Amino acid sequence: MVFNRKRLLLEGIVVAIITAGLRVAAFPPWDLCWLGLFAYVPWLVWVSVRGPEVSTRVLGGVALLGAWLLWAILLAWLRHVTVVGWLVLAAILALFESLWWVVAARITSSCVNRNSFARIFNMLGLASLWVVLEYVRGHIFGGFPWLPMAAIFWQTPYMLTLLPW
């Protein structure tokens, strides 16, 4: 039992690091925008397979770690201003994103044995939640509108017409 919990935690950490890495690679200077379209696939596959076995506390911790790592790397240039501010800002932004990770984990793991209509409805709900969280992050509490997911397509005008700011 303890072995299984440790293994699930380790799997979750690895998947969170992979997910964060894929999303980071979608932004400059790497500019692999197509990775942004698939960045959350490792997380969603892992939680659809392992989700029911993993406690919400572990999911939340792993999601927070992955989201914090993502924002810490994307905002690494702030370390020249203030290291503490950089790490705290990354943690605050990670709270918004990790909320989506946990909700996505619970919804995805509950959709495994449901009909197609319910799955599509839940996926549309997850997409809507993403938009709401990015809006809240960008406009409420002083806002931090930098690096929305649409920003990965800055060099592809045909995608920007579909994904307005």
Each residue of 39-70: pLDDT tens digit? 999 998 898 888 778 888 888 999 999 999 99
Half-sphere exposure of 136 (CA within 13 A, CB side): 13
Q: Where are the domains of the chain?
A: 2-160
Q: How far is CA 157 from CA 4, 36, 55, 136, 154, in A?
A: 47, 16, 42, 25, 7
SS3 assignment for 38-76: HCCHHHHHHHHHHHHHCCHHHHHHHHHHHHHHHHHHHCH
Residue 160: which pLDDT band, with cuts at 50, 70 and 90? low
- Angle formed at CA 108 by CA 102 and CA 112, multiple of 5 degrees: 150
Q: Which residue has the higher pLDDT, 86 or 146?
A: 86
Predicted TM-score (pTM) of the model is 0.84
Each residue of 124-145: pLDDT tens digit? 999 999 989 988 888 876 677 7
Written as one letter, the residue type at 35 is: L
Q: List the structure tokens of 120.
A: 């599509």
